[in-house]
């Protein structure tokens, strides 16, 4: 059944009136860029067949213990993801959001670790990646509080076994195995300083836009890990803003807000078309 044009018109009107935009994004944001959907073990194993044989699910592999127990397995998983995120271009919806952000006071809050908002041209100082970034590394122990960029670091992964082959990323301070600066499951060694700095910038921004007309545009944030959905609703309520929730599977919104049950790229494109009609 075709979606009501009123949904897109309401979303476009909210964007047109906005003086500030908070863009929030979960894993579904990257699906239209060609990134895999890890929803459920079957979705994960379709993307990573070797781990089906081992009987390992996403939440089991995304655990810092593997960097001590089996670093080749740990870096097989994260090395593949790093290579994938480096080689994938953000979809057109990112560029549209960046255009809207360029003429308004804007910030990004995301649980994604792929770095695609920065890759799409958003100001790195206006992005709060609350779970860290795969493009930054830290010591797996950790021996110190250093966090450094993964630029120039390459991990070769055997597609048949899912294991890293050759040299692994190492900590320049102690020579031990390094790991991505990402918050994993059961993670007590994640170095939080970089994310905390971004979080403080985000809180200052929230304070600065109080009293402005705010729209929260949420893309692809599911219920399994509801961090982004909860933040979107919290900020829309706190700042008396409008929430536009873009989500194929879980589009429900609190009363008075806007839902669009489509993928991010298609939904953003339709909102842009309606915005053009509003602006004449």
What residues act catalytically?
131
Q: Compute, in degrees rounded to 10, the torsion defined by CA atoms 87, 271, 202, 185.
A: -50
Q: Rg of the chain's alpha carbons, rounded to an integer?
A: 20
The pair of structure tokens assigned to 94 is 């990112």
Place of tokens 């950790």: 142
Strand partners, 245: 218, 259
Q: Of 74, 56, 75, which Cα lies nearest the Cα of 156?
A: 75
Distance CA 17, CA 15 (A): 5
Residue 52 burial (CB count, 10 A): 15
The pair of structure tokens assigned to 175 is 């020579």
């Amino acid at each position: 059944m075709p979606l009501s044009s009123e949904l897109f018109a309401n979303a476009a009107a909210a964007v047109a009136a906005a003086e500030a935009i908070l863009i929030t994004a979960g894993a579904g944001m990257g699906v239209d860029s060609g990134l895999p959907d890890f929803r459920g073990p079957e979705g994960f194993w379709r993307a990573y067949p070797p781990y089906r044989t081992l009987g390992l699910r996403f939440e089991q592999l995304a655990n810092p213990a593997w960097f001590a127990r089996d670093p080749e397995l740990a870096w097989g998983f994260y090395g593949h993801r790093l290579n994938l995120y480096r080689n994938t271009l953000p979809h057109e919806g990112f560029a549209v959001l960046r255009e809207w952000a360029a003429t308004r006071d804007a910030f990004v809050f995301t649980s994604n670790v792929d770095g695609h908002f920065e890759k799409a041209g958003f100001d790195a100082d206006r992005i709060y990646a609350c779970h860290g970034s795969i493009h930054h590394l830290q010591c797996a122990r950790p021996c110190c509080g250093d966090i450094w960029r993964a630029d120039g670091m390459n991990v070769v992964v055997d597609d048949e076994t899912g294991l890293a082959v050759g040299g692994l990323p190492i900590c320049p301070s102690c020579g031990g195995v390094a790991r991505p600066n990402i918050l994993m499951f059961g993670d007590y060694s994640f170095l939080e300083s970089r994310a905390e700095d971004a979080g403080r910038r985000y809180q200052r921004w929230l304070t600065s836009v109080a009293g402005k007309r705010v729209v929260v545009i949420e893309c692809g944030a599911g219920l399994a890990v509801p961090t982004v959905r909860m933040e979107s609703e919290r900020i829309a309520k706190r700042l008396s803003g409008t929430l536009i929730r873009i989500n194929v599977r879980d589009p429900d919104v609190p009363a008075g807000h806007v839902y669009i049950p489509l993928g991010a790229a298609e939904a953003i494109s339709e909102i842009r078309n309606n915005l053009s009609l509003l602006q004449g």
